[in-house]
Structures are given as C-alpha cells and as structure tokens.
Structure 1
Amino acid sequence: MEQWMNYAEQIRQETGLPIICVQTSRVSVDQLLLEHQERGWELSAITEDDSGAVWLIFIESLSWHESARALLRLFFTPQATRTGGSVINQVSAWLHSICHGSPISPPARLEQLWSWREPRAVFLMEHSRWESVFEWQTLQPLLQDFFKGEDSSFLGIPLGRSYYLLLVPISILGNQNDPEDLLEWASGLHDLVSTEQMEHVRLLVSRTISTPLLLEKALQELLSLSHALTTFRPRTMVAGSWQYPLEQWAQALPSETRLELLRSLPPFITAHTLNAEQIETLETLFHCQWNISDTARQLYVHRNTLLYRLDKLTEQTGLDPRQFPHAILFRLLLLFRQN
C-alpha cells in the first residue's frame, strides 16, 4: 500500500489540504483513531494488506468540503485481488471502519469474491474490562474445539482490542437458527471464554445472514445493542440483537432528552422510594411479561407473597404495575435510574 502513501503526499502538496497516511498494526488502530480524533482529524479510508498491516487515511475535519471528500474515494478504495486472504483483509478493514463510526464502502464485487454456500450466524465478543491484556487470537483453539469445525469453517475477525467478530455457518450450529437456539450457542460460548480464559467478555449474536453484504447491518445492530447494554444493562453479558429494544431506543436519545424524561416522571416515583426488593420484583415482573405465576417462580416466592408485594407497592406509590399505563412509568424509571 505504498501507493496510498504516495497519493496522500501528492494530494497534500497539490491542494494544501491536510491529509496523512499512517501504517500501523491491528492492535494499535483503536489508540491511533482516538489520538487523531482528539486533534480534530477523522478517518477517511482504511485497508489491510496481505502482511496484516493496517493503512489509514486521515483528513482534518474542518478543512475538507464534501465535494473534495468525494474525490478521495477515487484514490483510496481498496482494490480487489484474487487471493481469498486479501478479500478477508478488505472485509476486516471495512468492518473496522464501521466499528469506529467512519464506514467506508464494502469491497468491490464482494459477493463474487467471497461467496457463501449457506447462511452464517454473527457473534460479537466485547471486552468488558479496558485494562485487559487478553489477545483475541488466543481463542482460535478453543473456538475450533467448541464448534468442532475445521479452521476454514468459521471465521474470526479482530476489530481492534475491543471487539471480535465471529462468523459461523449454520451447519456447524446443527442448522439451528431460531433466536432461542442462537442465544443458547452464545451463552455456551460466553461460558467457555469465561471459564477457560478467565476473561470477562460480553457475547452478542444477531440473526443469521445469507450474504456478506449484510454484515454491515448485522454489525451495526450488534454495536447498537452493545452501547445500550453498557449504559442501561451493564450486568447483561449475553444477548441477541432483537432484544432490549427499549434500551436501544433510549441509547439513541440525546442525554439531555433522557434527563428531561426522568424529570418528567411523577415526583413520588423516585429511585429513593423503591428498595432493592421492589426493584427486583418489578424487573422480574416485566421480564415475565406481567405473568404473576412465572414471576413468582423466578423470584422463588409464593404467588400470594408476590401479590402482597405488588399491593404494598401500589399503596406506597399510587401506581399499580399490573396496569399497563402505570407499568410504563415504572419501566421508564427503572430504565433511566442507572443513567
């Protein structure tokens, strides 16, 4: 990719616009992006060569008009090559750009160069501790044993230090692609990494996809879920992209709007008025879709005990969580109380 370096230098000299090309390793991409963003630069293009080196094009945000930015695609589009490894490198660079909020176009002729014979499940692992020194590559032997497949049967793509994307053909999963089946596989994989590697990770899974072009949508859904869980459900370690829609909606709101919503709740429903037992009761009730018998079983209490708790809660707050309009207020309170 020396050509990218030459193009960047030529553009800088001819136009005077601030642009640089940087070569780095996969593990250093996150830190490099953060450093440049703090200085007012943004990522314009990213690719990975056959040796595994990552090449990034940065431009100074305030200096580049939209028309000038469009011309950069003529110079810095990763070129398709004949080798499968190079295609995967391009895919890695494409997905990396999505992770960091500066998406580039998918590799040219992607579906022709990387054809799939069957749908694949998309798993996303996420470090839950920033201080972790764990390397994603060490998972390969564990994954091969877990999925009982050949090295080429599934594909793991490190996306910096924070994320690891795993693409698994559904035949390895016993052709199980129902949401509950996928969650069961995700839970088993989470337990494996937690026990064998002693590493705290969050394991997310999306619905199966049939072509590599759908990877962008699947990854964006998983990232949206990851951000929502980090904010509102930090203890949730396994989830599917179709879950927690309320949390994902709240995460998409500006922080000022969240605060305004919390302030608009009736003043007698505050986090201070609910004790730990009441919060657990409400959370379980909503998780069980307002089914009293299921909620009592989940809480390991008698049904009458649960009804007594709910009656006391109604007496204390004036709201009955068994009534849908009142439950909405309680649900919003529980959602925003951690944020």
Structure 2
Amino acid sequence: MISNQVIQAAIEDLRAITRIDLCVMETDGSVAASTFDAGNISRDAVMAFVHSPAEGQNLQDCHFFKVHDEEQVEYVLLAKGSGDDAYMIGKVAVSELQNLIVAYKERFDRSNFIQNLLLDNLLLVDIYTQAKKLHIETEAERVVYLVETRGEKDVMALETVRSVFAPRSQDVITAVDQKNIVVVKTLQNPADAENLETIARMLADMLNAEEKDRVRVAYGTTVGQLKDVSRSYKEAKLAMEVGRIFYPDEIVIPYHTLGIGRLIYQLPLPLCEMFMHEVFGENLPETFDEETLTTIEKFFENNLNVSETARQMFVHRNTLVYRLEKLQKTTGLDIRVFEDALTFKIALMVASYMKYLEKNQ
C-alpha cells in the first residue's frame, strides 16, 4: 500500500501551504508520518478513537479524523489545533489520503493483473473482465520491456522506471521476480513503434547514469491484443537470456535481432558436442591461446578485412596473415573464406552456449 514516505511528502506539502501541522498514525497508535513532534499524543487515545463510532473528535489540542480504506479504518489523521482552520485542513487531508489509497490500490491491482497476464495465469474471459474493471484497453499496440538489474530488489531502479512511465495511464510497471522489472508499454502512435530501441536505450542510459552496467534492457515484438502481451514478455525473456550468452557486451537486446543465436539456444547439448567435434576435432576453442582468440574476434568485427584488422591490432599485415594461416593448419578452416568464417563463427557461438549449459546445470 502507500509508503510512509509518500504520506510524509503529502502532509508536508499541505503544511507548507496551510501552516497547519498534521500527523498520520497507524491504528495501533504508532506514527506513520508527521510534521510535528507527536510524542505527547496518547496511543491509547488513538486506539480508543479507532474503535469508537465517531468519525471526528477533538482531543489533546488536535482534531482527530478517521481515514478509511473502503469500510475499514486505515489511518488516524491529526490536525494540530482546536479551531475551524485546523478542522477544515484536517478534512482536506483526509480526502487527499483516501484518494491516495484508492490510486495506490488501483495500481497494485493493475500490477497483480499484469503479473498474472504475463505468466499465463488467467483465462481469456477473466482477462477481458478484469481489464474492463481496471480501465485497461484490450485492443492497443503494446510491447514488453524487460529491465534486468544487477542487484536483487533494486527499489531505486523500480521507482526511477515508474517515474518515467507512471504518468501514462495505460503503461504498467511491475516486477515478476527479484531482479527483473517489467514495463508493459502502450504505443500511442506509429512513431512509438518506430522508436522501440530508442525507448530501450533511454531506459538503459538513465538507469546506468550513476553506476555503469547497472542494468540491461531486452524487449519483445509488438502485439495488438491484451491477451497476447504474454507472448511479447516471453520474447523479451528469451532475448535477455540469449543476449547474456552470445552478446554479453550489449546493453539493449531486441528480440528481432537475435538471429542465429536464437536457433543455437534451442539445440540440445549432445548435438552441440557432436557439431563441435566435427568442426574442430580435439582442437576445441578453449584450447586456443588468448592471442589467437583476440585475432579471430577482431577479424570478425572488421568483416574479414585483413588490412583493417591489422591496423586496429597494431601488427604488420603479414603477421596477421601468418596467424590466420596457423589457425587454418590447426582447424582446417580458413576464416578468410566466407563459408569457413561462417562455420567458425557458428562454432564459437555453440561453444559459448555449451559453457552456459555446463555452468547452469
């Protein structure tokens, strides 16, 4: 429900405008938020007021009011002073707190609904019934962003994301596990659909501003029906997982750019092992020295361009050619030739996948 920090901010704003001190107390008499020292307020008096039929009372130089959540007393609000001004501001504060409770409750209900929707825990009829109740459009272009934080329960990251998207009533921000924040974004116009990666990079840059590589962002494809949002979520999850294996340096991973990595991710381990032995025999990639691996990586980065690779590695062209020929003798693959380079690249990706499988068994 509402955090004490939110309540404190609300009553401090009212205090700044009206100069009337306010205090919000739990039903057990403990202080949730206050703009003055409420130490002299009797907890017994608060608890007695909670159980009394009265909605308001004047005690200990304060106006007491009940703040309800539906039919149940949620808080007791105190407005310091016994005059009409304190009474009027107290009633205003009660109204604001009750509106906050409704707003936060609706957000909580939306979050629960979206979590169940993402996890396929709802029947089709329940999706439409609950969406109508929560004022969520069933037909709209949406995409799911998955934000993976480095630490568990990253509350600051969650609040930062909410501060960006929460004002848009159809965007829902939630969390389905300890490390991932989910943004179900409603695309308002065609420009939004064209700028999916821009939005993802904005999220990553904003969250990584204070601490480098704090988060990674993946996203699925757009869907037009609310019932299909879980598909976009599954795509975003797959993109995050595949990106972690094959593209560890990428901060933003779109599902539609996974390419061959998505195919390799679905291969069983025995098939991978057979392929690796067919390509390399006993000379598996983990037996290569660091110089060879760096040479291969740079050569692929420069689209098999010998001269540009040599320039970036600060070596003579002939030195690079010698290293490539040495690799050819070892593996039987000349990666200066496109077909051999393609085989080698796929084999390196399969090797990364096998390491991942072994590590996570």
TM-score by length of 2: 0.54
1:122: Cα distance to partner? 1.9
Secondary structure in 1 aligned to 2:174?
Answer: strand
Looking at CA atoms only, which structure, 1 or 2, has the larger radius of gyration? Answer: 2
Matched residue type, 2:191: N
Does residue 1:143 correspond to 2:157, yes or no? Answer: no
Q: Which string of whole-angstrom CA distances, capped at 9 and with x for unpartnered residues, describes residues 267-295 of structure 1?
A: 2642255333443443455456x363897
Q: Residue in 2 aligned with 1:183?
A: 197
Query: What is residue 348 of structure 2 aligned with on the other side?
Result: 334
Taking CA–CA contacts closer than 8 Å with sequence separation of 6 or more, which of the two structures ends up with the larger relative contact order? 1
The one-letter code matched in structure 2 to 1:115 is E
Residue 161 of structure 1 and its aligned partner are, at CA, apart by 0.9
Contiguous gaps of at least 5 residues in structure 1: 1-49, 52-82
Q: Which aligned pairs between 1:250-261 and structure 2 lie closer than 5 A? A: 250-261=264-275
Change in 2 beyond 3 A, CA 1:133/1:198? farther
Contact (CA 8 Å) 2:110, 2:172: kept in 1 or not? Answer: no
Residues in 2 aligned to 1:235 and 1:92: alpha-carbon distance in whole angstroms: 29
Between 212-221 and 202-211, report the one with greater CA deviation. 202-211
What SS class does the counterpart of residue 195 from structure 1 fall into? Answer: coil
Partner of 2:328: 314
Pick aligned residue for 1:157 from 171, 174, 178? 174
Could you tell me the percent identity over the aligned residues? 17
What number of residue pairs does the alignment pair up? Answer: 245
1:110 and 1:213 in contact (8 A); partners too: no
Please report how far the alpha carbon of residue 299 of structure 1 lies from its aligned counterpart in structure 2 after TM superposition. Answer: 4.7
Partner of 2:28: none
The residue that corresponds to 2:78 in the other structure is none
Counterpart Cα distance in 1 of 2:291 and 2:208:
29
Say which of 89, 94, 106 aligns to 2:112: 89
| Letter of the 1:143 counterpart | V
Write out aligned runs for 1:245-284 (5 A). Answer: 245-267=259-281, 269-272=283-286, 274-284=288-298
* CA apart distance, 1:164: 1.5
Corresponding residue for residue 123 of structure 1? 145
1:210 maps to: 224
How far, CA to CA, are the matches of 2:325 and 2:145 in structure 1? 42
Q: Which residue of 2 aligns with 1:44?
A: none
Question: Is the contact between residue 148 and residue 181 of structure 2 (CA under 8 Å) also seen in structure 1?
Answer: yes
Distance 2:266 2:311 in 1: 31
* Matches of 2:127 and 2:162, distance apart in 1: 30
Say whether the 8 Å CA contact 1:284–1:298 is kept in structure 2: no
Judge conservation of contact 1:157–1:164 (CA < 8 Å) in 2.
Answer: yes
CA-to-partner distance for each residue in 1:48-81, whole Å, 9 max, x for gaps?
Answer: xx99xxxxxxxxxxxxxxxxxxxxxxxxxxxxxx
Aligned pairs (5 A) from 1:6-45: none
Residue 128 (structure 2) aligns with = 109
Partner of 2:258: 244
Change (3 A) 1:262 1:124: same
For the structure 1 residues 263 and 245, does the alpha-carbon distance in structure 2 shift closer, same or farther, using more than 3 Å as the test?
same
- Alignment deviations for residues 105-147 of structure 1 (CA, whole Å, 9 cap, x no partner): 454326962316752332101244xxx34334x3355235656
Aligned partners of 1:206 and 1:242 also within 8 Å: yes
Distance 2:170 2:130 in 1: 18
* Counterparts in 2 of 1:259 and 1:116: CA distance versus 1, 3 Å: same
Contact 1:296 1:303 in 2 (8 A): no
Write the distance in 1 (CA, Å) between the matches of 2:139 and 2:311: 42
Mapped partners of 1:146, 1:305: distance in 2: 54
* CA–CA separation in structure 2 for the residues paired with 1:153 and 1:104: 19
Retained in 1: the 8 A contact 2:239–2:255?
Answer: yes
Q: How does 1:290-301 map to 2 (within 5 A)?
A: 290=303, 292=305, 296=309, 299=312
Structure 1, 181-190 or 296-305: larger mean CA deviation? 296-305
Task: Tell me how far 1:166 sits from its aligned partner.
Answer: 0.6
Tell me, yes or no, if the aligned pair for 2:204 and 2:217 is still in contact at 8 Å.
Answer: yes
1:202-252 CA-to-partner distances (Å, cap 9, x unmatched) read: 210223332222212111112222232334444443211112332222222
TM-score by length of 1: 0.57
Deviations 1:257-316 (A, max 9, x none): 32232233232642255333443443455456x363897499576995796354554355
| Kept in 1: contact 2:143–2:223 (CA 8 A) | yes
